[in-house]
Chain A
Amino acid sequence: MRPASRDPSGLDLVVDPHRAEASLWRRFRFEDDAACRENLFDRYFGLARLIAGKLFRQRNTRRIERGDFEQFASEGLLHAIDRFDPLLGVPFSAYARRRIAGNIADGVAQMSEIDAQLSHRHRVEQERLRSLGSDDADPLTALSELAAGLAIGLMLEGTGLIGGREAADNQPDPYDSLAWRETQAILLSEIARLPLPEASVVRQHYDHGLPFAQVAEVMGLSRGRISQIHRAALERLRRRLTARP
């Protein structure tokens, strides 16, 4: 995770973006390099979110949240990545746009009344809570760990900081104090030091806003495993933050 603005490296001078993307497709499709799938997902996540935002603004229902649109968009993007033939000469963005928009339309149409009533945010929070549930015998310790885990989650959520891109929302909010921002910055530096699967789960879940099921799809792991990795990541962050002077 490199910072957003930095001097170009020597490699940046010579890398051709078209060839670099072709290299990802080649390694993913023909050399079974699963990490390239996640890389492609990250590369086009902005496109999926853009399409979700556009369709959300044009929606004719109030019962479905933006988070649902984004979830359907991410699903559509994953389907597109898995079905795209890079040898056909069609740019992936053109191919993916239709799949993403189609998946959003299908998802919205099929979403049941019950799903819609249980808000997207609520579902994500429930999932996170289940992941953080402690086996600790001492209920007070368990509660304090859970609270710390949830606080870290709240701090990470939607900051746009993790992926190194500009913050998604620059409006001042109740948490926009120096202390809050400073802790967020410390957290960011600690995320950069997480082992790879944990850093990936944190980035996909909090920065991209993906539910665990989708993080599982992106990373090619089971949903239960993602939940475990999420818990391990937050525990590690909590330990490191507590250990800081």
Chain B
Amino acid sequence: MTMMCPDAELQDLIQAMQSDDRDELARADRLIAAYGEDGRLHFLRGSLLAAIGRPIEAMASLKRAVALAPDFAIARFQLGFFQLTSGEAADALGTWGPLALLPEGHYLRFFVGGLTHLIRDEFADAIARLNEGIAVNEENPALNRDMQLIIDQAAGLLRDQARGEHAAGEDGATSATSFLLDQLGARGRPN
């Protein structure tokens, strides 16, 4: 039978993490030695390692957490987000797939939808979905902050693009290089 970590010990570890206890990683390792099949512990260890800049080990712990607890939705979301921020967008989408089974209107579904639009450079839709997720997420305020940062950056990018298109319409001057490249484009590439 799988031994799960008692809630009290788990809470102690979370408190140690929140209070910036230097011993927190060793604590997590000790608990994992005792309750190695508990996905929550691997998730916390992964979060710790990510925070201290050890991404290779963080990824391994997050993957272990999801393998042990496939229905642990926040761990699955965070693993996908970690993959996305590591430049592994296809893996992220694969990891997030089962989150589509969450109830309609769940904040993680909105976040996954928004980030999927972001990967496809569909910024307006990305912002809309992420905002919808923030509006219904009362469970995880830290995640709302992360998503808000992405919204702000995507909104800035949309503004820049709009300005760029406006400026390009007004300014007819081109550099020698862009002139050449335009010519190349105008010739058309062979089929």
Contact = CB atoms under 8 A, between A and B. Distances in A.
Interface string B113-131: 0010111111100100000
B1 interface: no
B136 interface: no
B87 A20 contact: yes
A195 interface: no
Contact of A19 (B86, B122, B181, B183): B86
Interface stretch (B22-30, B55-63, B68-76): B55-63
B53 interface: yes
B150 interface: yes
B55 A22 contact: yes
Interface stretch (B13-21, B34-42, B95-103, B153-161): B153-161
Given A10-B154, A13-B154, A18 B119 contact: no
B183 to A, nearest CB: 7
Contacts of A22: 55-56, 59, 86
A10 B86 contact: no
B85 A7 contact: no
Contacts of A193: 189
A15 B119 contact: no
B84 interface: yes
Interface in A9-31: 9-11, 13-16, 18-20, 22-23, 25-26, 30
A86 B115 CA distance: 29
B87 A185 contact: no
A193 to B, nearest CB: 8
Contacts of A10: 117-123, 126, 154
B89 A25 contact: no
B87 A18 contact: no
B82 interface: yes
A19 B115 CA distance: 18
B12 interface: no
A189 B184 contact: yes
Given A26-B56, A89-B53, 19 more contacts: A7-B157, A10-B117, A10-B120, A10-B123, A10-B126, A13-B150, A14-B84, A14-B150, A15-B87, A16-B85, A20-B87, A22-B56, A23-B88, A87-B56, A87-B57, A89-B54, A189-B189, A240-B190, A244-B190
- Per CB-CB distance, the 6 closest pairs between chain A and chain B, nearest first, are A22-B55, A10-B118, A20-B87, A23-B86, A19-B86, A16-B85
Interface of A: 7-11, 13-16, 18-20, 22-23, 25-26, 30, 86-87, 89, 181-182, 185-186, 189, 193, 240, 243-245
19 contacts: A7-B157, A7-B161, A10-B120, A10-B121, A10-B123, A10-B154, A13-B150, A15-B84, A15-B86, A18-B55, A19-B82, A20-B87, A25-B56, A26-B55, A26-B56, A89-B53, A181-B180, A193-B189, A243-B190
